[in-house]
Amino acid sequence: MTQATIEYASELMKIPDAREMVAEARDICDAVPAVYEELADTTVPVNVKHVVIDRIFPLGVRNFLKLLCDNGDFGLFYEIIDEYREQMKKPREVEAYGELIYVTPPTDEQMIGIRDFLGKEFGNKDIELTMKQDESLKSGFIIRVGSKEFDWSEAGRIRQLEERLSRAVTEGRSRSEDNIISILRSTIEDFELAAADKEIGVANWVGDGIVNVDGIDHANYGEIVIFDCGVKGMVQDVRRDEIGVVLFGRDTEIHEGSRVVRTGKMAGVPVGDEYLGRVVDALGAPLDGGAEISTDTYRPIEMRAPGIVDRKSVSVPMETGILSIDSMFPIGRGQRELIIGDRQTGKTSIAMDTILNQKGKDTICIYVAIGQKSSTVAKLVGTLKNAGAMDYTIVVSATASDPAPLQYIAPYSGTAMAEYFMYQGKDVLIVYDDLSKHAVAYRAISLLLERSPGREAYPGDVFYLHSRLLERSARLSPEAGGGSITALPIIETQAGDVSAYIPTNVISITDGQIYLESQLFFSGQRPAVNVGLSVSRVGGAAQRKAMKKAAGSVRIDLAQYREMEVFTQFSSDLDDATKKQLEHGRSLMELLKQPLGHPFSMADQVIILVGANAHLFSDIPTAEIQDFRAKLLKYFHDEKNEIISRLESYLDLPDDLRKSIETECENFKSGYLEDKDA
């Protein structure tokens, strides 16, 4: 071989996937010798040769063939091809290492094809392959280079076919003959020989539900990876030389050296109407012992919140049925109202009453239990079933016994389910019980991932943890779908400290808070709503006109009563005005007491408030106010139903209707006192 031939062959080696194109060019010259003779003839003009090359030969080698014609060396074509094939067989300077697994050793022709493929895939790097025989492949090859695996084996085809069949059954299709033939046909057509998009990594450290993985260089934050034992995990930390993965299952079957494969899919959860009435875990799997949930719709658990343009102002009430809240701290559809207080002060009870009050109001409810005891969740589900509320409710449970990653993603999974209904134009109420435990789970994950701890050992992005969750609650404009998500996040305080890190974070994210005070709760005032520290930043904009007019000065009267009560503890001689104010305040406090699981309708609340503002209850003994209220409401429902119908129809409180309510209240009171005296 001449030096020119060797140099030309070396240039061919630099062209990706040149082997097939060179073979095609040679076949053309063999089939039509006149073409070769014309290109090798030095008397033929170069521009004519270029036209022939553009019309006949493969695109990838045209420039090389034109170079031969320009230099007058096309006569060396066959010698160059022979030298190129020899150079393909020679080992070159090793730039990477790989492994070739086979059943039968590859032929020379197969090795040329393998080398050509690797050159194209890895930019013509010289890769040294170690050979390994494995009878379990049945036939074909597997090549592993770095973190990538390419599977040409029969075992790989069988595995993909099994996955297709199992996925078809999961999606609800039977294993009928027609379906299997259809799957076989599509599998043959779509089978991917190379797993180029599925990087293979190796676990180098395992512990406490966290795995550090080497060899996966292109994973995305939040991407799902699968371990060789079948356990799924989510990429939660992307570093320069490794990734940190949080597990959605137990780590007992994972050890150092376990293989990990990318899926290319972000963490998501199945959604749909099929979930109504079910209790599921953070991944959407049923926990209630019922049938498997079949749905083809998935949503990512992390989604961007609706923009300003897509939002509509909060103006439609989300009535809780709790008099103290609906009258003084109204909640609107699309609002985020925080429920905050110490342990065992009735936070969950308020959320449950709100869910019960949505019956018959075309509202979907989602209750997310984070870090609760399983027995507590079971009791809540029983309460909802007995009240008939499970028909429109989904319970997402990540109990204290579940791994921290499941507690971490549970509220995001619940929000993804809520967004499915919101973008269909439906109203959704979602309860996060509670976000304090959610922050603790995230702190545990972050510390195990060796992130720098900040205030109270929480990571620096703990504010973003809850802001990106709660910002997804909104009321959409009609153009964007018209639905809404109303969020009731719950935060547990320690000894009433609302200025702690997590409480202040969530207070600044939400549109108001209902503060439950331990002292009020233990004194028998339930719900134990603190009038001074509670607030709704939406206020009267999300309140019915009738409720707004009836509530009047209730909040101010209660605040004055609390101050006056403290002041009068040291005085025994009170004037009549002060006595009257104290009596009115005591009656209001007693009226705001409400049995658990008995929400009031809007009409009932208006009647109670109108009577309270008319001082109807002031001279009733405190111990009898609850009984008097119950009988008063029964009287209106049984004998004055036209007043209730008018309130529910017009949602307003004109003066004549207010006077009618006051008159009927006085009439009932007179009869009540007469019966009592008799």
**Residue 52 CA: distances (Å) to CA of 12, 28, 56:** 20, 12, 6
Phi, psi (degrees; rounded to nearest 5) at 190: -105, 5
Query: How many other β-carbons are positioned within 10 Å of the β-carbon of residue 285?
Result: 11
Specify the 3-state DSSP secondary structure of 278.
coil
Hey, what are 623's tokens?
């111990």
Residues 6+ apart with CB under 8 A from 49: 38, 39, 66, 69, 74
Q: Which residues are CB-contacts of 318 (< 8 A; sequence separation ≥ 6)? A: 331, 332, 333, 335, 354, 363, 427, 429, 486, 542
Rounded to the nearest angstrom, the gap between the alpha carbon of residue 269 and the centroid of all alpha carbons in its chain is 7
> For residues 496 and 522, what is the distance between their CA atoms, to the nearest angstrom?
14
Is 299 considered catalytic here?
A: no
Q: Of 173, 537, 646, 658, which is the active-site residue? A: 537
Q: In terms of DSSP bridges, do strands 141-145 and 96-102 run parallel, antiparallel, or are they unpaired?
A: antiparallel
The residues near 232 (Cβ < 8 Å, ≥ 6 apart) are: 224, 225, 226, 247, 248, 249
CA 470 to chain centre: 12
For residue 174, give the 3-state DSSP assignment: coil
- The token pair at 642 is 């036209």
Whole-angstrom Cα distance, residue 521 to residue 347?
11
Look at residue 397 and give its three-state secondary structure. strand
Residues recognised as catalytic: 537
